[in-house]
Chains A and B, each alone.
Chain A
Amino acid sequence: MTDSGFQLKGSVVTTILLEIRSFSLEGIVTQLEKKIAQVPNFFNQAPIIIDLSKMKRGIRIEDFEALITAISTLGLSVIGWRCDPDSLPVWHAQVSIALLPASKARAINMAPVTSAEVSPDVVVKTVVEEKLIPQATKVITKPIRSGQQVYAEGDLIVLTQVSAGAEVLADGNIHVYGALRGRALAGVKGDTEARIFCKSMEAELVSIAGNFMLSDALQKIVWKDSAQVYLADEQLEVVPL
Chain B
Amino acid sequence: MAKIIVVTSGKGGVGKTTSSAAIGTGIALKGHKTVIIDFDVGLRNLDLIMGCERRVVYDFVNVINKEATLSQTLIKDKRTKGLFILPASQTRDKDALTIEGVQEVLEELSKEFDYIICDSPAGIEKGAQMALYFADAAIVVTNPEVSSVRDSDRILGILQSKSKRAEEGKEPIEEHLLLTRYHPERVALGEMLSVSDVEDILAIPLLGVIPESEAVLKASNQGTPVILETESEAGLAYTDAVDRLMGEEKPLRFLEVQKKGFIKRLLGG
Q: How large is the interface on A (under 10, 10 to 19, 20 to 34, 35 or more residues)?
A: 10 to 19
Select the stretch in B32-40, B41-49, B95-103, B153-161 that faces chain A: B153-161
The complex places the Cα of A147 from the Cα of B162 at a distance, in Å, of 13
Q: Does B57 belong to the interface (CB within 8 Å)?
A: no
Q: Decide if A163 touches B160 in the complex (CB within 8 Å).
A: no
* Number of cross-chain contacts by CB at 8 Å: 34
| B residues neighboring A (CB under 8 Å) | 150-151, 153-154, 156-158, 160-161, 172, 200-201, 203
Also in contact, A164 and B150, with CB within 8 A (given A146-B157, A148-B157) = yes
Nearest chain B CB to A89 CB, angstrom units: 48
Q: Which of A146, A179, A181 has the most CB of B within 10 A?
A: A146
Which of B151, B153, B161: most chain A CB closer than 10 A?
B153
What is the CA–CA distance of A146 and B11 in the complex, to the nearest angstrom? Answer: 13
Closest to B172 in A: A142
Known contacts A146-B150, A146-B153; A163 and B161 CB within 8 A of each other: no
A161 in contact (CB, < 8 A): yes
Instruction: Provide 6 A-B residue pairs closer than 8 Å at the C-beta atoms, listed in order of the A residue.
Output: A145-B156, A146-B157, A147-B154, A148-B157, A148-B161, A160-B203
Residues in A neighbouring B200, C-beta threshold 8 A: 179
CB contacts (< 8 Å) of B151 on chain A: these are: 146
Which of A142, A144, A147, A163 meets B201, CB within 8 Å? Answer: A163
> What string of 1s and 0s marks CB contacts (under 8 Å) between A153-194 and chain B?
000000011011110000000000001010000000000000
Note all chain A residues with C-beta closer than 8 A to B156: 143, 145
| Beyond known contacts A147-B157, A160-B203, A164-B201: 6 more, CB 8 A cutoff | A145-B153, A145-B157, A146-B153, A146-B154, A147-B154, A165-B154
Q: How many angstroms between the C-alpha atoms of A145 and B173 in the bound complex?
A: 15
Q: Provided the pairs A142-B160, A145-B160 are in contact, do residues A164 and B153 lie with their beta carbons within 8 angstroms?
A: yes
With a cutoff of 8 Å between Cβ atoms, the chain B residues found around residue A143 in the complex are 156, 203
CB distance from A32 to the nearest CB of B (A): 28
Q: CA–CA, A16 to B203, complex, Å?
A: 38
Query: How far does the Cβ of A131 sit from chain B's closest Cβ, in whole Å?
Result: 36
Q: How far is the CA of A201 from the CA of B74 in the complex (A)?
A: 51
In the complex, what distance in Å separates the CA atom of A165 from the CA atom of B151? 10
CA distance A145 to B160 in the complex (A): 9
Q: CA A181 – CA B150 in complex, angstroms?
A: 11
The minimal Cβ–Cβ distance linking A176 to chain B, given in whole angstroms, is 13
Query: What chain A residues lie within 8 Å of B160 (beta carbons)?
Result: 142, 145
Chain B residues with CB under 8 A of A148? 157, 161
Measured in the bound complex, the distance between the Cα atoms of B205 and A85 in whole Å is 64
The 8 residue pairs across chains A and B that have the minimum distance between CB atoms = A145-B157, A146-B153, A146-B154, A148-B157, A147-B154, A163-B153, A145-B156, A145-B153
Residues of A within 8 A of B158 (CB): 147
Nearest CB of chain B from residue A235's CB, rounded to whole Å: 32
B154 to chain A: which residues have CB within 8 Å? 145-147, 165
Give Cα distance in the complex from A214 to B153, angstroms.
21
Q: How far is the CA of A166 from the CA of B157 in the complex (A)?
A: 10
Tell me, in angstroms, the Cα distance from A148 to B154 when the chains sit together: 8
Bound together, the chains give a CA A226 to CA B251 distance in angstroms of 33
Q: Nearest chain-A residue to B204 (Cβ)?
A: A143
**Chain B nearest Cβ from A163, distance in angstroms:** 5
| A142, A147, A166: most-surrounded residue (chain B CB, <10 A) | A147
